[in-house]
Amino acid sequence: MWGPQALLAPAIRRPAVVTVAGPAAGSLPATPSTPWRSRMPLIDAHQHFWDPAAVAYPWMDPADAVIHRHYGPEHLAPHLERHGIDGTVLVQSADSDEDTDAMFAVAAEFPAVLGIVGYVPLDDPARAEDRLAELAARPGFVGIRNLIHDRPDPDWLLQPAVIDGLRVLERADVPFDLVAVLPRHLEVLLELSERLPELRVVVDHLAKPPFGGDAGPWRELLAAVAANPRVYAKVSGLYPEPGTDLRPWVDHAVEAFGPERLMLGSDWPIAELAGGFDPVWSALVEVVDGYGPEVAEQLRSATARRFYRLTIEERGAR
C-alpha cells in the first residue's frame, strides 16, 4: 500500500501469490537460463526466525495460524537446500532485546546464517550505544533495524533522540535496515542522507512498490534516495496480485541503484502468506537471472557480501 492509508494498515498485510510473466518483459536485456547459475553463490539477504511462544511479537495476530507459529532452521533448511542457497541474513522481527538474543542463539546452531540484523533502541541513544557494543562483540552481527513502519509518526526517524541514535550507528559504521512503506519514509531518508552523510542504509523490500496503483511517487522517490551512494535496497517482500510482472519494477530499481547496490531476499516466513518460499523465491530469482550473469552476480550475493561484510565459502572450493 503506497499512500497515507498505509498508516492504518497492520505491519504485515496478507499478500497474494506472486507470479511472473517471464524474464523477457521490461526495458533491460534478458538472458536465458545458462550453466553459470550453478557456479554462482546465492544469498538470501532477508529472512526471519521467530517463536511467539517464547518472544512477544506485537504485530502478530494470534488468529493467523500461518504466521503465528514457530519458524526456525528446521523449517528453512529444506528450502535452502532445494534452491542452492549458500547462506542467509537473519533480520529482527520485534523491537526487543529478546528477539535479537533469540536470533543469535538460533544462529549459533545454524551455520547457514551468515549475518544477523538486530535491534537497539534508537530513541535512547545511550542505551543504543551500550547495546551496540554488546552486539558488535557477537559473531555474525552485521546491522540494525527498527520497525519504524509500526510507528504512527512517519517522521519518527527525524526525532532528535533518534537522530542521535542513528549517529551512533554512523560512528560505528553499522548499517541500518529501513522499512519504508510510505512516500514519507523515503522523504525522511532523503533528509537523513543530508544530516548523516556517512550512514549506510538499505531500503527493505524496494520500499513496497504500489502494484496496481500510481507508481509515479514511488519511482521518483526511489530514484532520489538512490542518488546517495551509501543507500542500497533489497529486492524482497514483493507480493503483487497474481499475474503481475515483477520485471518492470525491478528494472526501475536496477536503473536507479545499479546492480552493485541491490540484493535479493525472500522475506520468509512472511512469504508463507504468498504461497510459500518456493514460488516467491523462484519468481525473484527468475527476474534477477534474466539480466545475465554480470548483473545477477551482484544481486545474488556480491552486494550482500559487500554491504554486510559477509564471509562465504566459494563454491569452487567445496
* Position 295 in a domain: yes
CA distance 253 to 235: 8
Of 51-65, 154-168, 271-285, 302-316, the one with minimum mean pLDDT is: 302-316
What is the dihedral sign for C-alpha 266, 202, 239, 243? negative
pLDDT > 70 fraction of the chain, expressed in percent and rounded: 88
- Identity of residue 146: N
pLDDT at residue 12 is higher than 50 = no
Task: Tell how far CA 171 is from the center of its chain.
Answer: 23
Query: How many Å apart are CA 151 and CA 162, to the nearest integer?
Result: 13
Residue 292 is assigned to a structural domain of this protein: yes
What domain range is 86 assigned to?
Answer: 36-309
C-alpha cell at 164: 542521535
Nearest alpha carbon to residue 256 among 221, 283, 280: 221
Least confident window among 94-103, 208-217, 263-272: 208-217
With respect to residue 275, please indicate whether it lies within any of the assigned structural domains. yes
Q: What is the mean pLDDT of residues 110-127?
A: 99
Q: How do residues 90-116 score in pLDDT, each as one tens digit?
A: 999 999 999 999 999 999 999 999 999
Least confident of 237-246, 249-258, 301-310: 237-246
- 276 residue type, one letter: G
pLDDT of residue 285 exceeding 90, the answer is yes
Enter the C-alpha cell of residue 206: 524496494
- How high is the mean pLDDT of the chain? 90
Average pLDDT estimate for 42-63: 98
CA 237 to chain CA centroid, Å, is 7
pLDDT at 238: 94
Cα–Cα distance for residue pair 238/250, rounded to 1 Å: 10
Q: What is the per-residue pLDDT for 315?
A: 54
Tell me what the mean pLDDT of segment 192-196 comes to.
98
Task: Confirm whether 154 is domain-assigned.
Answer: yes
What total of structural domains would you count in the chain? 1
CATH number at 301 reads 3.20.20.140
Cell 565459502 locates to: 313
C-beta separation of 115 from 308 below 8 A: yes
Asked whether residue 73 is domain-assigned, the answer is yes
pLDDT above 90 (res 229): yes
The three cell numbers of residue 123 are: 530513541
Task: Kindly tell me the number of DSSP H helices and DSSP E strands found in the chain.
Answer: 11, 8
Q: Report the pLDDT averaged over residues 206-214.
A: 93
**For the whole prediction, is pTM greater than 0.85?**
yes
Q: What is the pLDDT of residue 34?
A: 60
152: exposed, middle or buried (Cβ count in 10 Å: 0-12, 13-18, 19+): exposed
For residue 82, is it within any domain? yes
Residue 66 lies in a domain: yes
* Residue at grid coordinates 519518527: 156
Residue 81 maps to a domain? yes
